[in-house]
Structures are given as structure tokens and as C-alpha cells.
Structure 1
Amino acid sequence: MKWNAQRYEKQHDFVFKYGEGLLTLLPQTAHTVLDVGCGTGDLTDQIRQKGFDVLGIDQSAIMVDEAKRLYPNTKFQHQDILTATSSATYDVVFSNAVFHWINDQDRLLDQIHNLLNPGGYLICEFGGHNNVAAICNAFGQELEYLGINYQNPFFFPETTSYKQLLIEHGFQVLDITDYDRPTVLHDGIDGLANWIKQFFQADLARLNEQQQATVLKNMTVKLQDQLWREDHWEADYRRLRVVARV
């Protein structure tokens, strides 16, 4: 996945804005925080402003460079959580809208467990079961019409199964909740196409320009009744929120 940091800030800022609610869950007894998948650093900087010693990491060097430019007083590093090696440990591992990009959840949770101090917290939110189901299903159908096998790249777990996975990796689950969160997409009629170009870019790259244009046009027509609201698209987001402890 290649990210355009400026486009992300402008067109997909709902990602970190909706994540601001997670900040209220940070325990005041904590001191050190690791923000996994910090993106352009907006939430990381807010954590710093709340008085925590925070480090933001992201596997995208482009995102980290933009975060450093926007928030020079906040610490950021270019790191992939799955391969990160550090002697530092933290009171909280925090993450917003990231875990659904990671299919190797066993490795992810082992890494997080190792990075937490005894009694430390995992506080995260990401896509839950049936997140953006209408969009994913429509996109898969369009690729199938073109004779292309589509595999949903996201990890959108059910609440019960993810709770069990956390327990198996040594976490005490304090709270786990899934909920619908309809999400307004920016840029009016172009909002859906812009979202697809960002989040399905790897699959779109398999198509020529004409095929891409056809897919985007067909999806706009197909999803109009479900997701169009007078002057904007409203994506069918469903989230999973976790507070757990080691």
C-alpha cells in the first residue's frame, strides 16, 4: 500500500477524527505510550499534549515524514510493528484504524504483549465484522465481472473470536465492543471513488485505465441507493473497540 500523505490528511481525515474518542480511554496512571500505525501523527500529537511520553510508529516512511513535518515536537519513527525490535517497553500500546490491515494477528499480538510493561494496556479500534461490507461486496463483484478473482485484503473479525484470540495471547479483556459507525466521505459525488482509489489501490493497479473507470462508474451506480445521502456518500463502517491488559 502506497500512501499519499497530503491526500490522506485532506480526504480521509475522518480516520483520525473518529479516533479521538479513544483518547479518553488512556489511563491517567500511564506514562509511556506507543502509537502503532500513527499515520500523519494527529492522534500521536494529541496524546503528547495530554502529558504522555509517546512515540508514533508507522510502516510508511511517507506518513512518518509528514508526521514529523506537521508535529516537530512529537516523536516518530519509521517502523513496522510486526518486525520492530526494541528494548523499550510501554504502559500503553494505542492504535486506531490499523489492525484490520494486518492479517498475521498472532504475530501482532505477541509483539504487543512483549512491548507492554506488566499491567500495561492495549487500547485500539479497527474494522469489525461486516465493516464496509456493501463496498467490499460491490468491488468484488466488479472484479469478478472482469474475470479477476478478488480476495478481501482486510481482517474484520467478529467480537467473540477476537476476544478469544486476545485471551490466547495472554491478555485480560476489560472491554470489547462492536458498533455501527456510518461515515461521511468527503468530496460529494466523487467521495466514493476517492475512497476506493485509496483503500483498494492494490487491486485497482491490476486493471488498465478503462477498466478502472468502468469499475468506479458501476460502483457509483450500484451503491447509490444504499450509501448516497442527498449530497454525500455515507460508508457502512462497523468498528471493533478493545481495552485489554497484560
Structure 2
Amino acid sequence: MTDQQQIAAKIWDPTLYDNTAQYILYYGEDVIKWLAPKKGENIIDLGCGTGHLTAKIAESGANVTGVDNSGAMLQEAKKQYPEIPFIQADATNFHLDEPVEAVFSNAALHWMTEPQGVISSVSKALKPGGRFIGEMGAKENIATIIAAINMAFVEIGQEPMPAVFPWYFPSLAEYATLLEENGFTVEQMAQFQRPTALNNGPEGLKSWMRNFADPLLDTLSEEEREFVLERTITYAEPALVDDDTWFADYVRLRFVAVKDK
């Protein structure tokens, strides 16, 4: 099992994910517009999670297959969308019988901490001229949340950043270079701030941390975890609350790249 699979097995709770991260589906529908799926195309949804965006892509008439490395998330996806094929595989090492016209990925590539391997696998999966469309966390994504967690860790005598950092947040230039070095032409790319509202006030940020920051917290005792959650709220509040609404300070990277012919 790779490091990616170990992280996935530890943190992904499909019920928590679907209940607290509805905004991923909402914003992901805009990324599908960049994909512009066509009837009859063969498309991979890489890091498909519980399959909601996979199903949205399928509504276009495209033949879409979901790929994810979390068995728990795929079990829920198969239950909700039994008509769609789903495959459990690591993004750095997935194989298809035939190459496809497009690979799509939303809110997943930043969990894949070996980007060279991921892009290489995507290239192998695509036909010449095939499209790679994605959105992910970019450089400075959740910087305020990370800083607040770090300050809380210092208070309990931990290093400011634990050894396991579960995310890969590249700059636009860094990711564009990786794509070009692996035989892609970048047709569109944008890096932008997207503050994302969280439901239920400070409890919304706690749910976000339980859902997405578990690798940073799972070495702590229950008492330490609760302390870190509470102190993170305190440190983050001045920057992340606007008109009584809590926000996650997201910075996103969105792109369309085409495999060279």
C-alpha cells in the first residue's frame, strides 16, 4: 500500500464527506463546463470520491468511469450509482484496457502527493490529443487554517507542522511546467482565490478539519485533538469570519491541458 492509500484509508468517511462538503459538488459543476463532455466520449473521473460528479458527467451521454483509491468512498459511489463503473486504483499506477478521450479531476489532485507519477499515469491513459481537465488546491490554499493549526500544535508542545503533510498545493507555474515536461500543452490555466462558506459557524470549521485535516490530528490523544480544534477556531476566527459566516480560505488552480499528438 502506498502512502496515498494509507492516508485515504485513514481519513475518508463517505457520510461525513457528503454531509459536510456539498460545496465540492456545487463548484465542481463549473469545472465540468471546462471538460465539455460529449456524447459517446470515454472519460475517467480521477479521484471520484462518492461519485456525484461522475454521475453529472454521465448525464452528457459520455461513457464515464470513476477511479479512486478509497474503498469506502467507492462503496458509497457504487451504492448510489450502480449503473456507472468504478475502479479502485492508485492515481500514480492505474491502467486501462483502452486509452480515453479525457481525464477529469476535481478537488482530488492536491491529495496526490506524487504529481509526476499522477501526470505520467494520466498521459498513458489518454489518446493523443486527449484532454486533462482539473481543479485542485493551489499555493497558499487554506494558509490561514494551516497557520492556526500550527499555532495550536505549538501550544501542546508539538512541532509547528507534523511530519505528515497530506496535501500538494502547487503554484500555477510549477504545475504548468510539470504538465509540459510530461508531453501536455496547457490550453487554459487559472489560479484564483475562492473563499468557501462553511455551514454551522465554528462547528463547520471543526467538521472541515475532521473531514480533511485528520492526518494532522490522528497522532494526538482525544483530549489534545479537542484542544487543537478549539484553539484553531480561536486563531482562525479573525481572518475567516465575515458577517457571521465562516469561510475556508481556498485558493484554486484550474486547467485544461491536451496530450501532444
TM-score, length of structure 1 as denominator length? 0.95
Pairing 1:22–2:35 present: no
Partner residue in 2 for 1:194: 207
Uncovered stretches (5+) of structure 2, i.e. residues with no partner: 1-6
Paired letter, 1:160: A
Q: Distance in 2 between the 1:170 and 1:186 partners?
A: 41
Pairing 1:94–2:104 present: yes
Partner residue in 1 for 2:137: 127
Residues 27-66 of structure 1: pairs in structure 2 closer than 5 A: 27-28=36-37, 31-66=41-76
Among 4, 7, 31, the residue aligned to 2:16: 7
* Most deviating of 219-228 and 26-35: 26-35
Distance 1:28 1:237, change over 3 A: closer
Q: Partner of 2:64: helix, strand, or coil?
A: strand
Q: Distance in 1 between the 2:158 and 2:184 partners?
A: 40
Q: Distance in 2 between the 1:27 and 1:46 partners?
A: 12
Shift of 1:85: 2.4
* Most deviating of 109-118 and 214-223: 214-223
Shift of 1:97: 0.5
Partner residue in 2 for 1:76: 86
Q: Distance in 2 between the 1:93 and 1:145 partners?
A: 43
Paired letter, 2:33: T
Contact 2:105 2:133 (C-alpha < 8 Å) held by counterparts: yes
Q: Distance in 2 between the 1:205 and 1:244 partners?
A: 36
Shift of 1:195: 0.6
Q: Partner of 1:223: helix, strand, or coil?
A: helix
Contact 1:122 1:244 (C-alpha < 8 Å) held by counterparts: yes
Paired letter, 2:23: F
Partner residue in 2 for 1:137: 147
Partner residue in 1 for 2:173: 160
Partner residue in 2 for 1:180: 193
Q: Partner of 2:61: helix, strand, or coil?
A: coil
Paired letter, 1:80: D
Contact 1:191 1:232 (C-alpha < 8 Å) held by counterparts: no
Shift of 1:161: 1.5
CA RMSD of aligned residues (A): 1.4
Paired letter, 2:247: E
Shift of 1:28: 5.0
Q: Distance in 2 between the 1:40 and 1:28 partners?
A: 20
TM-score, length of structure 2 as denominator length? 0.90
Among 211, 217, 224, the residue aligned to 1:211: 224
Q: 1:33-76 deviations in whole A, cap 9, x for unaligned?
A: 00000011010001111110000011011111101111122221
Among 230, 245, 255, the residue aligned to 1:232: 245
Shift of 1:205: 1.1
Q: Distance in 2 between the 1:83 and 1:118 partners?
A: 19
Q: Distance in 1 between the 2:134 and 2:33 partners?
A: 12
Between the aligned residues of both structures, percent identity stands at 33
Partner residue in 1 for 2:113: 103
Shift of 1:171: 0.4
How many residues were matched structurally? 246
Paired letter, 2:112: I
